[in-house]
Amino acid sequence: MLSETKLNILKQISGDFSRDEAIWASGYLAGLAGGSLSAAILPPLQTETTASNAVKKITLAYGTETGNSKKLATGLATIIKKKGVQVKLADLSQYKPKDLAKEEFFFVVISTQGEGEPPALAKKFYDYIHENEINLTHLKFGILALGDSSYPQFCKTGEDVDSRFEILGAQRIIPLKKCDIDYEQEAGHWIEHVFETVNKTSETSSKNISAPKVSSGRKKFQGKVSSIINLNDITSDKETYHIEIETEDILAYQPGAALGILPYNSKQIVEEIIALTGIHSQKRIETPKVTDTVEQLLQRHLNISYLLKSVVAQYAKITGHIIPEVRLSLLDLLRIYPVKNAEEFEDVLQILTGQAPRLYSISSSLEAHGDTEIHITVAKSEFFIDHQKHNGLCSGFLSEFSEGQEVEFYIQDAGHFKLPEHDKDMIMIGPGTGIAPFRSFLWERDAVGAEGRNWLFFGDRNFVSDFLYQTELQDFLKTGGLTHLDLAFSRDTAEKIYVQHKLEQKAQEVFYWLEGGASVYVCGAKEPMSRDVEETLLNIIQNEGKKTKEQALHYLEEMELSGRYAKDVY
């Protein structure tokens, strides 16, 4: 109970509260009492938070190991309910993934454990969405990832779920939010953004309720490779291919969108697997995903290159081998832990997951290149296992294409990675193949005569051998399509210079652009590039804007929430 003195103070300050102010105050005090969320997470007082057109129901799911995600999700659900929105709180350890087909708005709070692993209780859900091709084109989602930045795989589980939902066709309506161990305030901003976004989405949907329905299936296009060019010089130790595809279909996409391709497995590897198992290559097998010949299943439909640990465990049960918890290719498994006969291998075919598509940023523009042609930029990935060189499955598959070869693809919507208004400035930071969407941006803005200024930061290893799209960029610079072009070639100097160092050198002008309303886009390698670039941006905002670290974080967060700061990293 309150003392008489405190009770009198409370009566004095609350006597003239409006109804909304009283509701907010009660929620604030309840938060203090419950201890589940600090006061920092509660949203600022708003007198019109309950909109009559607000969405009626969302699902807020959590995946937790230590209890933090559950505690946070529960607190966030309380906040959003007070705004008049019905919230279904779901534990991913109990959630049935098949119920995703019934969801419209689905938000996830999930933590990362150990070396980038999902929480043990959420692993079943995590594995299901990664091992199954679910149609999620109807789903609108957002992910709040919890982690500890002192670990190298910071928020990896949240990143994985976010990217997998996108691959499955779901629409990301708010950007992935990654929170460190002090997450309360950022989580509060996130749930406010959830409410605002679903409210707008609901209003838009209600206005278009009589619009004809469109098939939710992902449209596949058939095209032919009309040009394939290695953008690197012969002296480079890299191979980056510019690939142009022509189609008889009319294409529709926005700059920032991605092209999805389902790669085929190596014919040589498939032949080795068939020889090792003794199975007939033309025998037709029915699997949970597709029915086809053994040869076609292995080459076109099933993932055989890097099996999930859960698949390896099932393989061990089928074959009776004791296999450590590892991820191996199917060929390596068969070599080390062979099947007894062809019949046993048929059982193995049943447990293999479907081949997952790969997404590549589109590097062309409808306005500049027409609606029957599309371009992508692909770096051939190479890695070594036991001193033997291997190629990345899809990049190796694409790099071996020849002109005239047919290819099947689909288009993935741009999501949050979209051009600003024609009169707005933009800063693009894209080393290596991160240049791809920015080539699309530049061609599009040039074709439509956009008035906004364009500033590109590009980097790679060597100027002579690795300056991708050099002639085009220099032409844009000459004609004014590019206002500034800053280059960082890390191997050309004794001290390695990267794009974030070029940002630091132009700190004053960068901040001037930000204050003028410029949008910032980052595309390329997630680690360490995107993190280093973000840290540099925060330092620029803090130093040039004379702000505290917390104020700089809030400044960049507000840019992200308003769509002025977007990342497409991998």
Q: What pLDDT is recorded for position 478?
A: 85
Q: What pLDDT is recorded for position 12?
A: 54
Q: What pLDDT is recorded for position 544?
A: 96
Mean pLDDT (whole number) for 162-173: 91
Question: Looking at the predicted structure, is the pLDDT value of residue 464 above 90?
Answer: yes
Q: What pLDDT is recorded for position 22?
A: 47
> Residues 81-119: pLDDT tens digits?
778 787 888 889 888 888 888 788 999 999 998 878 899
pLDDT band, very low/low/confident/very high, at 213 (cuts 50, 70, 90): very low
CB 159 within 8 A of CB 568: no
| CA atoms of 406 and 226, how far apart (whole Å) | 10
Question: Looking at the predicted structure, is the pLDDT value of residue 30 above 50?
Answer: no
Q: What pLDDT is recorded for position 21?
A: 46
Question: Looking at the predicted structure, is the pLDDT value of residue 55 above 60?
Answer: no
Q: What pLDDT is recorded for position 41?
A: 40
Q: 370: which 2 tokens?
A: 């027409």
Q: In which residue are the tokens 């465990």 written? A: 313
Question: Looking at the predicted structure, is the pLDDT value of residue 191 above 90?
Answer: no
- Residue 363 burial by Cβ neighbours in a 10 Å radius (0-12, 13-18, 19+): buried
Q: Which domains does the chain have, with CATH numbers?
A: 57-201 (3.40.50.360), 267-351 (1.20.990), 426-569 (3.40.50.80)
Q: What pLDDT is recorded for position 382?
A: 58
CB 157 within 8 A of CB 176: no
Q: What pLDDT is recorded for position 433?
A: 94
Q: In which residue are the tokens 């296009």 written? A: 221
Q: 382: which 2 tokens?
A: 């190479």
H helices present in 425-530, as ranges: 436-448, 463-466, 470-479, 499-505, 507-515
- DSSP type of residue 530: I
| CA atoms of 552 and 536, how far apart (whole Å) | 11
Q: 221: which 2 tokens?
A: 């296009």
> Residues 524-546: pLDDT tens digits?
988 899 999 999 999 999 999 99
H helices present in 284-435, as ranges: 294-296, 309-319, 330-336, 342-351, 366-369, 393-399
Question: Looking at the predicted structure, is the pLDDT value of residue 38 above 50?
Answer: no
pLDDT band, very low/low/confident/very high, at 279 (cuts 50, 70, 90): very high
Q: What pLDDT is recorded for position 388?
A: 56
Question: Looking at the predicted structure, is the pLDDT value of residue 17 above 80?
Answer: no
Q: What pLDDT is recorded for position 384?
A: 47
Q: What pLDDT is recorded for position 494?
A: 87
CA distances in angstroms from 419 to 363, 376, 416, 449, listed in the order given: 13, 18, 9, 13
The overall average pLDDT reported for the chain is 84
Map residue 481 onto helix, strand or coil.
coil
Q: What pLDDT is recorded for position 511?
A: 98
> Residues 378-420: pLDDT tens digits?
998 755 455 555 556 777 788 788 898 899 899 988 878 999 9
Q: What whole-number percentage of the chain has pLDDT above 90?
A: 52
- DSSP type of residue 302: B
CA distances in angstroms from 226 to 175, 404, 407, 463, listed in the order given: 35, 6, 11, 28
> Residues 424-447: pLDDT tens digits?
999 999 999 999 999 999 999 988
Q: What pLDDT is recorded for position 193?
A: 87
Q: 293: which 2 tokens?
A: 């010949």
Per-residue b/e over 31-59, b at no fewer than 16 CB within 10 Å? beeeebbbeebbbeeeeebebeebbeebb
Mean pLDDT (whole number) for 128-155: 89
Type of residue numbered 379: A
Q: 32: which 2 tokens?
A: 């203090």
Query: Beta-carbon neighbour count of residue 556 at 10 Å?
Result: 20
Counting every residue written for the chain, the total comes to 570
> Residues 349-359: pLDDT tens digits?
999 988 888 88
**Strands 140-146 and 105-111, how do they pair?**
parallel
Q: In which residue are the tokens 């040589």 written? A: 268
pLDDT band, very low/low/confident/very high, at 203 (cuts 50, 70, 90): low
**Which of 128-142, 262-276, 394-408 is predicted least confidently?**
394-408
- DSSP type of residue 320: -
> Residues 330-377: pLDDT tens digits?
999 999 999 999 999 999 999 998 888 888 999 999 988 889 999 999
Q: What pLDDT is recorded for position 501?
A: 96
pLDDT band, very low/low/confident/very high, at 16 (cuts 50, 70, 90): low
